[in-house]
Copies of this chain bind each other. A is one copy, B any other.
């Protein structure tokens, strides 16, 4: 286990929220104050525990042990971000990338093993959105969206200053809105979902589509033509684009076209002030922002052009983003 500890003696009793991010490979955690200052972070493997109860007990024990090392800390609560987490029930439901199947009562177990009542759960994209709202670029903005471009696409929306949960806690699945009717096959069993085009995996699929559509002599000049499907990452595509590779630039152009279309549609519903991009593919910066902005403008209803939503990168520290988001769930609940 890695624990990076930083204590702060400048103030008296520190109110801290514990953020726990449950990933398929690692579980990260950290303590964060109300301003978004991170006091420590740590992580341990999500796999290799004899049971889900044992895993939950490890989270609880590790968190409590670590907190004890901080002077004058008062724990306001524990926020947990996890894939397929449902805020209302405190459960993780059928998560594809965890070893445990079915319906997992994570919030209840963490309450039991820590003795801390204020345990909040939401899926990782909604946690990131609350993080953006409390610590990031969303501060003071009543209507905004966060789109996470990772392996899949997550999304979270803030309307009138509050997170959109929908009637069942399941709002925010923009990645599975249809952007091309009858388009690419999606892992969800449907076709043409935004996620199949503009996630970190989606852009790789676009790379192979663009290569297939390019004259072989030209395609062969691209560094991407030397990389097998299984080896290609979105970072390789952005590296090639940064070197001016025309194939890679075309891949970003097409990716931006799809994302911009979808964000123009989103704007007809919510008219957000800002749309924040987040996650692996967002690290490409202007390479993805620029074609997406141009596509948004092309596809945008005239009414919205005067005061178009601003497209920006998330203002949350990328390395600790998941922990920050999870911890923010606590402040949202007590604030």
Which of A43-51, A62-70, A111-119, A161-169 is near enough to bind chain B? Answer: A161-169
Residues of B within 8 A of A160 (CB): 159-160, 162, 164-165
Does A188 interact with chain B (Cβ within 8 Å)? yes
Report A280-335 residues with CB < 8 Å from chain B CB.
Answer: 299, 301-304, 307, 309
Report A231-275 residues with CB < 8 Å from chain B CB.
Answer: 261, 264-273
Q: Once the chains are docked, how many angstroms separate the CA of A138 from the CA of B224?
A: 53
Interface centre among A171, A267, A272, A302 (most CB of B within 10 A): A171
Instruction: Please determine whether B143 and A173 come into contact, CB atoms closer than 8 angstroms.
Output: no
Does A189 interact with chain B (Cβ within 8 Å)? yes
Does A57 interact with chain B (Cβ within 8 Å)? no
Distance between A191 CB and nearest chain B CB, rounded to angstroms:
10
Residues of B within 8 A of A155 (CB): 269
Residues of B within 8 A of A171 (CB): 143, 268-271
Q: Once the chains are docked, how many angstroms separate the CA of A159 from the CA of B169?
A: 12
Instruction: Please determine whether A270 and B269 come into contact, CB atoms closer than 8 angstroms.
Output: yes
Q: How large is the interface on A (under 10, 10 to 19, 20 to 34, 35 or more residues)?
A: 35 or more
Point out the residue from B143, B173, B303 that lies within 8 Å of A301, measured CB to CB.
Answer: B173
Does A181 interact with chain B (Cβ within 8 Å)? yes
Q: Once the chains are docked, how many angstroms separate the CA of A157 from the CA of B159?
A: 11
Residues of B within 8 A of A157 (CB): 269-270
Q: Once the chains are docked, how many angstroms separate the CA of A171 from the CA of B175?
A: 20
Instruction: Please determine whether B302 and A189 come into contact, CB atoms closer than 8 angstroms.
Output: yes
Report A187-226 residues with CB < 8 Å from chain B CB.
Answer: 188-190
Point out the residue from B180, B261, B268 that lies within 8 Å of A176, measured CB to CB.
Answer: B268
Seen from chain A, the residues whose Cβ lies within 8 Å of a Cβ on chain B are 141-143, 155, 157, 159-160, 162, 164-181, 188-190, 261, 264-273, 299, 301-304, 307, 309
